[in-house]
Structure 1
Amino acid sequence: MRKTMVSILLILVVFSSACIEDVENTDASGTSAPSGSANPTYLLTEVPYGVIELDTLAEYGNVTVVRATYGYVIFRNDTKVFLNVSEAYFFPWGFVVAETVPEVRGIPIVNVRIGRTYEEDSRNITAMVGVTRIEAYDYTGHLLWVHEPQPPYIWEITRTDDGGEGYEKGVSYPRILISNSSEYLFIAELPRSFGNMVSLPVSAGDVCNYLYVYGGNGLVERFNFSSSGRYQVNNEFLLSAGNYTVFGFQMPYEDGSPNYGEVLLFNGSEVIFRRRFDRDPECLCDVIHGWARIYPGGCVYFGLLEGTGFYCRGTFRYIKKENG
């Protein structure tokens, strides 16, 4: 099984100018769930001529998944098909693919005015944006579930403060992290703020930091990490090894300086370690450093304050780096 953390940064420059310049000021919710086909014929096909089978990725009873040139070959009983995607996640119950396509959707546009006071408002508009769908199928090609991350938002900033007048605009897509353990898929959705600001817009609606855990039957659990402030998190990581997954991030203050960090370790879908780490008032260092190492037995290292955090078999230790 593939044991790697894949980060998908959804910045689609080719759509940005269309989103900002050619939008239509009409109300649209853009919140309806996507519909998936019962049989993904565009994904599972006959094995094309010239495809070379490489190494075996996974074996689940009568199913064998082989990495191949341009995709994957899936053997099931006495048949084989070609999975025509560049990246997929495989489980005993099926496989998951993530695709980003352009769509006309209803999304918020956030207007910010910064002068003697800070003012913010939003409205819904229709715009062309990149929509990511994360879809799960069983090995016969039937759709199991669909996850569509929270949509982006368009922002416009007008400044009349001491820095002089100015105008900025852009599209803010959430940062998407995906990782898979033996049985579960983990999806972290981390919204990006606008311009060089740290705060997430209040008027954009449900813009929150989420971690989702999915199994073969759909959503198992969702975690919301936005309760203590609407800020863009940083130094995030999400990775798996065997049946274990670790997720961590750092929450800043409004000025961008480190506030606290949080780390969660899962065995399957069960949280076996969760701890918040506060900043050191005598050190301006990061609380969480944005890296981790995890092993199939569930032991994990991660950068913490002036050293390293280490958790293994129910015991946590902080190892401070010696100077020199």
Structure 2
Amino acid sequence: MLGGFGRSGSTLLERCLAECPDVVGLGEVLHLWERGLRDNELCGCSLHFAECPFWQGVGEKAFGGWGTLDVAEAVEDRHEVVRNRYLPELVTGLSPRRRQTRAKRLLIRLNALYHAAAEVSGARFIIDSSKHPAYAYFLRRADVNLKCVLVVRDPRGVAYSWSKVVRRPEVGNAEEYMPRYSTVAAMANWTLYSVLFHLLALLRVDVKTVHYEDFMSQPDEVVKEILVFMGAEATSADVAHIRVDAVDLSAHHTVAGNPMRMKTGTLRIRKDTEWQQKMSARDRRVASLLSFPLRAVYGQHHPESWSLRAAIRKSPWSPGDSTCGSCATT
């Protein structure tokens, strides 16, 4: 599973990984029940969920067809169980009986869905880019070999990105937009998501941290590192679709996520530094202040920190990457 607060490059990372042999990307499975099953939004292949051969095959294999499910119940179960406020319950397993019942139903559905997706795709590894901490904690109980990769980007760039108006193409011709966050709200979520994914390691979940800036500068090397972390082989042939400044993408069956999940063909890989020129001085100060503790840990407190950190990481005396991250299921 890929984790971390949104607008950090996780969608592009998933697309790059999904082009590798034995890997399939499903998008944000967390939202499948409402966006795919209930609202019939567009899949990453540009077909509506109900018309997508891949997802119809998954539904048939997992449930004997999506029509056998109580859609309202499936949506409500997810909303009632996967909440950050319920993290103590997700860690201990101790929750009110009603929520235990909902959690059991959700777990049964997810186990069936992941196994069906692996069978229909023929892939050994599944990338779920749901990013939500509570969902990662919940998946500890699923019948999958859960591994998490935390995608971290300079929080000031994240805050600026969440302030922009972005239309949701998966709703077709409707005028619907992705949510926006204030700088304070974005920094609170960025910090919370990062900390919670780091704490997963204490619960014996393998976690790896990937920095957006490293991914943008060396995408093929970062993807190979993640493949090794997942338990796959990582040769140059596995990442032949990735170049230093571009990646070749085919259509993927992702159920939710950033609008770029629908783009195909050759896509340029370029670090987004727009925030450095266009973010207001006030918002930059607020974001810098609120995120300083974690930025210091990540080495984001100095303008040259990324090149310095990359050099240290490549050094033969380097202790290696820290363990923390977003999630891949096998």
Specify which structure has the higher proportion of strand.
1
Please say whether Structure 1 and Structure 2 have the same fold, judged by a TM-score greater than 0.5. no
TM range (shorter): under 0.3
Structure of greater relative contact order (alpha carbons < 8 Å, 6+ residues apart): 2
TM-score by length of 1: 0.22
